[in-house]
Amino acid sequence: MTSAWTEADTQKALAFWREYQEKHDVSDRIGQAVGIDPDGKRVWFGANASEVARAARADGVESRLLAIRVGRDYYVRKGGRR
């Protein structure tokens, strides 16, 4: 069973994502989904979170992933207009 995701996991994943972007140009991936493995320090890109998860599983990775959009610090925001 996978352990529960914590705020510390989120911060660890985001820190790795910042490091990744310092070494890799992701400007051509703006708006794509990215899955970030905070433990294995790997990333997968796709059109959406499901595609990212499938790519990770195809690589044999079953660990937890943080899914966000490239160029954003979130995956999707939901809410009405104000």
* Residue the block writes with tokens 């820190």: 15
Residue 11 is predicted with a pLDDT of 94
Mean pLDDT of 32-47: 95
Domain boundaries, the chain: 7-69
Copy the structure tokens of residue 76. Answer: 């999707």
Give CA separation, 13 vs 1, 30, 46, 73, 77, in Å. Answer: 20, 18, 17, 11, 19
Residue 81 is predicted with a pLDDT of 59
Residue 71 is predicted with a pLDDT of 95
Instruction: Return phi, psi of residue 17, to 5°.
Output: -60, -40
Query: What is this structure's pTM?
Result: 0.85
The confidence band for 74, taking pLDDT boundaries of 50, 70 and 90, is confident
